[in-house]
């Protein structure tokens, strides 16, 4: 069933319930249903074919979600873009995707309505970016069922129901926040969607919300806001990221924290609802494949929630095998069913730094032009304010690293500010995969563990 059809069903049950609250106001389920049906009819009148790709770029979150649901109801594949992209960025990100329709103005709201069609659960129906606005485009596409059939599991895990007010305080171009918003609507809850993260607004937001979705580095600001609002109704924080800030659960006091690990390509992999450690999400099988002589291995996943791949043939970290297992190169300690999954590093995943998303391969491509460079791996290192900072580890051999001044000059000339490494390291030889490529996840894990062979470049 399309997400839009579930929203229409919620409108029949509780038409007066507030569905969406955004920066420009709020709409009820009845009004949202009317807008979605009219928008779907408008798209159908334009000759939109089933399965067509609809790129949506709107500044207001309520308008954006209305367009997403209208495209879904019409049987198309909605793709949420970042309205903050300039023309050059938008062209770069979407040029290889060739959307059939681009929605950059709110859909008309009229009296022409469209009855819900019958798109199949296996249709390619949802697409979202894994790399954000920085770097080459990676639009991940999935079936309807890979999202909608996981809704009930998340609802049970986090205790989310139709009487909740769910705060989704980040940009909907992020699959984490986009999923959180449509899940809340399919559940019949109120989704509060300000469209961006704003610590200054949290005190007001937590006076209304009962549940919040966020990423780990935002959790300290949330806990500060709750400290200043002791009577706030917020009871649950759903945190998308395996590593919580140190002492977060202890500071949370009466707030329940449900953390989870996943990836845009893999969806939910494992969850920790009580602090006992990550366990596989319902329906998910997990393996950690360790190469001979290695202490850590790659996380491989098989589940109904996996994506189908990348649109437009874009390269990316996702790999599959013949038995339906997938990996994005994340690294963990050896795992046996029934144990907690102990992650040690993100593999080929993008780096979230201060609200920007950086793709490591894009940084590496520029820095490989440095004279005398043998090879390089770029990873994210934890940072208390920015979440992560871009960190470069150079393979320097026995000759030693190039001067840091040269490295920084090349970075300034070829990279955006968010992409430039803040930390530089050198190692004589990078660990490599059996195919001979640098093992990014193992490098990140060695760096995090303080490997003495990896030396700071000053």
Give 366-377 pLDDT, tens digit per residue.
898 888 778 899
User: 431: pLDDT confidence band, cut at 50, 70 and 90?
Assistant: confident
User: Which of these, 336, 289, 311, 247, lies nearest to 433 by C-alpha position?
Assistant: 289
Mean pLDDT is lowest, of 90-104, 186-200, 271-285, 424-438, for 424-438
CATH architecture of 265-345: Roll (2.30)
* CATH superfamily of the domain spanning 351-456: ANL, C-terminal domain (3.30.300.30)
Q: List Cβ neighbours of 336 (8 Å cut-off, separation of 6 or more).
A: none
Gyration radius (Cα) of the chain, Å: 22
Kindly provide the b/e burial profile for residues 294-315, where b requires at least 16 CB atoms within 10 angstroms of the residue's own CB: eebbbbbbbbebbbbbbbeebe
Q: Transcribe 39-102 into DSSP letters.
A: HHHHHHHTTPPTT-EEEE--SSHHHHHHHHHHHHHTT-EEEE--TT--HHHHHHHHTTT--SEE
Handedness of CA 322, 323, 324, 326 (dihedral sign): negative
Smallest CA-to-CA distance from 373 within 414, 402, 393 is with 402
Query: What is the pLDDT at residue 136?
Result: 54
- Cβ–Cβ under 8 Å, residues 48 and 56: no
Provide the token pair at 77. 């594949």
| Alpha-carbon span 172 to 61, nearest angstrom | 7
Query: Under a CB-based contact definition with an 8 Å cutoff, are residues 307 and 142 in contact?
Result: yes
Do domains 3-196 and 265-345 share one topology? The answer is: no
Instruction: Provide the 8-state DSSP code for 109.
Output: -
| pLDDT (average), residues 102-121 | 70
Residues 6+ positions from 80 with CB-CB distance below 8 Å: 56, 64, 68, 128, 129, 172, 173, 178
Residue 163, SS3?
Answer: coil
pLDDT of residue 434: 44
Percent of the chain with pLDDT over 90: 51
Q: Which of 57, 18, 305, 19 is nearest to 181 (CA)?
A: 19
36, pLDDT greater than 70? yes
The three-state secondary structure class of 113 is coil
Q: What is the mean pLDDT of residues 382-391?
A: 84
1, two tokens: 């069933």
For position 278, what pLDDT does the model report?
95
Residues pairing with 351 in the sheet = 358
pLDDT digits (tens, 9 = 90+) for 212-252: 999 887 888 899 999 999 899 999 999 987 677 778 888 88
Distances, alpha carbon 337 to alpha carbons 191, 243, 278, in Å: 36, 21, 12
Cα–Cα dist 411/402, whole Å: 13
pLDDT tens-place string over residues 319-337: 999 999 999 888 888 999 9
| Domain locations in the chain as residue ranges | 3-196, 265-345, 351-456
Residue 135 has pLDDT above 50, yes or no: no
Residue labelled with tokens 């559940």: 187
Name the fold adopted by 3-196.
Answer: Rossmann fold (3.40.50)
Q: Which two structure tokens, joined as six digits, stand for 165?
A: 């007010």
pLDDT tens for each residue of 197-213: 888 999 999 999 999 99
Angle, helices 29-45/3-13, rounded to nearest 10 degrees: 140
């Amino acid at each position: 069933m399309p997400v839009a059809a579930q929203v229409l069903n919620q409108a029949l049950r509780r038409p007066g319930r507030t569905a969406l609250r955004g920066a420009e106001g709020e709409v009820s389920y009845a009004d949202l249903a009317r807008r979605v049906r009219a928008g779907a009819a408008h798209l159908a009148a334009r000759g939109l074919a089933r399965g067509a790709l609809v790129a949506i770029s709107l500044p207001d979150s309520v308008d954006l979600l209305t367009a997403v649901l209208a495209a879904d109801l019409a049987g198309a594949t909605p793709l949420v873009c970042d309205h903050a992209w300039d023309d050059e960025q938008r062209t770069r990100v979407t040029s290889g995707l060739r959307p059939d329709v681009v929605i950059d103005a709110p859909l008309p709201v009229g009296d022409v309505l469209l009855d819900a069609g019958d798109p199949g659960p296996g249709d390619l129906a949802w697409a979202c970016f894994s790399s954000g606005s920085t770097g080459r485009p990676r639009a991940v596409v999935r079936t309807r069922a890979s999202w909608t059939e996981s809704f009930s599991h998340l609802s049970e895990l986090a205790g989310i129901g139709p009487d909740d007010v769910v705060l989704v305080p980040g940009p909907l171009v992020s699959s984490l926040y986009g999923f959180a918003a449509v899940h809340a609507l399919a559940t019949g809850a109120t989704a509060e969607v300000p469209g961006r993260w704003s610590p200054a607004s949290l005190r007001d937001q937590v006076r209304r919300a009962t549940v919040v979705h966020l990423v780990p580095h935002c959790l300290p600001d949330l806990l500060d806001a709750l400290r200043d609002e002791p009577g706030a109704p917020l009871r649950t924080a759903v945190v998308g990221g395996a590593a919580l800030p140190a002492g977060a659960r202890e500071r949370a006091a009466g707030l329940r924290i449900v953390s989870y690990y996943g990836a845009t390509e893999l969806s939910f992999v494992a969850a920790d609802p009580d602090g006992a450690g990550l366990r596989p999400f319902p329906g998910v099988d997990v393996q950690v494949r360790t190469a001979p002589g290695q202490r850590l291995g790659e996380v491989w996943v098989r589940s109904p929630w996996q994506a189908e791949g990348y649109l437009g043939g874009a390269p990316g970290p996702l790999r599959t095998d013949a038995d339906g297992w997938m990996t994005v190169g994340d690294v963990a300690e050896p795992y046996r069913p029934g144990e907690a999954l102990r992650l040690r590093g993100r593999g080929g995943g993008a780096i979230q730094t201060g609200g920007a998303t950086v793709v490591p391969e894009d940084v590496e491509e520029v820095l490989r032009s440095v004279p005398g460079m043998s090879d390089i791996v770029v990873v994210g290192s934890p940072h208390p304010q920015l979440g992560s900072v871009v960190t470069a580890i150079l393979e320097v051999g026995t000759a030693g690293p190039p001067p840091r001044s040269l490295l920084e000059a090349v970075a300034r000339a070829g990279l955006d500010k968010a992409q430039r490494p803040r930390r530089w390291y050198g190692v004589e030889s990078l660990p490599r995969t059996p195919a001979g490529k640098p093992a990014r996840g193992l490098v990140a894990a060695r760096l995090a563990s303080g490997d003495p062979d990896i030396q700071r470049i000053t």
